[in-house]
Amino acid sequence: MNQTLITDYKFILTDENEIPFIEGTSMKVVELVTSIQAYGWSPEELHFQYPHLSMSQIYSALAYYWEHKQEIDADVQRRFEYAEKLRLEAGISPLVQRLRREGVIESSSLFILMKMSIEELPTDCELKE
């Protein structure tokens, strides 16, 4: 049975694993924080990107984050390390291998693209024919 605990923050509950989330949603506080860290989104942009969240919910989650910054930042780091471990274990996909063989992409190009978000890609970027 899922147990939730009430926090001192309106709209913020913790689950049975003590992971804080926004009441009435499945959005974890850490997910909101990573959106800010990854994209530099303001609270208003968070609301635009996650219209199911009210501004009050967003600000409450951010207040919770700032009061629990060390624990949440450690959770972000743990999640990143886990994702990186899985990425390294998965290796290079067959599609990327084929595109490299065909000369469509280069190793250095792939690394740069992996580090960029979609919004940061140049609009005049073309693949080799």
Tens digit of pLDDT for each residue in 17-26? 899 999 999 9
Which pairs from 92-96 meet CB under 8 Å and 24+ separation? Answer: none
**Domain of 100, in residue numbers:** 92-129
Residue pointed to by tokens 């690394």:
111
pLDDT of the chain along its 129 residues, tens only? Answer: 467 788 889 999 999 989 999 999 999 999 999 999 999 999 999 999 999 999 999 999 999 999 999 999 999 999 999 999 998 888 888 888 888 888 888 765 445 455 444 445 455 555 444
Together in a domain, 83 and 98: no
- Average confidence score pLDDT of the chain: 84
Residues 6+ apart with CB under 8 A from 36: 46
C-beta separation of 7 from 20 below 8 A:
yes
Whether residue 31 is found in the same domain as residue 67: yes
Tokens (6 digits) for 1: 């049975």
Scan for tokens 């605990």, then name that residue: 5
Q: Domain count for the chain, please give it.
A: 2
Residue with tokens 């939730």: 4
